[in-house]
Structure 1
Amino acid sequence: MDAEAQESFREFVAGRSSALLKTAVLLTGGDRHAAEDLLQNALVKAVGRWHRIDEPEAYVRQILYRQQISRWRLKWRRREVVVAEPPEGGQAPDTAGAAETRMVLRTALSRLTARQRTVLVLRYFEDLPEAEVARILGCSVGTVRSTTHRSLARLRELAPELAAVGPRPQRPSRDFSPVEVRS
């Protein structure tokens, strides 16, 4: 790799690694260490092909998604978190609403399967259309739709307090009463 390409890669990492790490954290269910490993591996793969990459961020994100898919296909066991003492009960809830919501969401996401979490991250955090998610995951659009539906249902079950965070989608009115048309 020549000096110009090295500098270009360094600038990319300096400018975009924070956003890419956020995606990796979501993909790994909130495990920051696993997310850092995931991002590091993706960057290592990207640096080898840096001179041939047209859209670096899209390329690295694609590597992140595919590596995470490979991880959940291998069915790695999630390691148990060991703490010295159990958490204290009866504490007053934190009033910082946004931080609390993020913590609840992160915990709920970590309890989903890796496949469910990946589909939700791609659909709602990355805001990708179903067809693109299906292409990335190597499955059909119907599979993406059904996995999204089941994942959201499971998320609502795991964290019912998230229902109060945003407005519920309104169903269209089924009022078929006649309408007077004036000419």
Structure 2
Amino acid sequence: MRKSLRFSKRAPIPMPCLDHELTPLLNRVRPKLTALFASYRIPEENAEDLLQDALLSLVGCWPKVREPEAWLVQAVRYLCYRYLSRERYGIFEPLDPAVLERNSRQGPTPQELRELRLDLQALASTLPPLNRRVLRMWFVEGLGNREAAEKLGFRPNSVRQNVRKSLRALKEGAADRLTFRARSRKR
């Protein structure tokens, strides 16, 4: 059997009349919305756009909305959050070619990298041998606490503490005062 293409005999969905329902609703909610826009620091021209988007959504969802005031406030809050997310974490930002060129030249030259590496080796040579070994395992070999502890026969916490103390000593330039006291693993 063929279905007829007649329209439904249901009553039409009641839509808000702008004068009777939306205007008083907007007047009641305006102080909350003003405070909301201020708390999110939305510029006035963008606040108007966000409010229009929320009102269009409200009109489209009107038959399903039970509390129009709360719905409108929450819709505006969500739109403000999305607006800030786009502003902060925008995918595309215009890049100035001159700035890109200037920043691309700011990396260290190979000579500077060699000098930095030599300075770091000289500073690390002031550490006790065990501390140097643990730092090498961490930063050169890429081992974690557990793997370094297994190689050295210590507890993982001891390795982590050693790395922390070694880095602090390197920062302070007091590596000659540093001693490594690790607890052996109980077997």
TM-score over 0.5 for the pair: no
Higher RCO, Cα 8 Å, sep 6+:
1
**TM-score, normalized by length of structure 2?**
0.34
**TM-score, normalized by length of structure 1?**
0.35
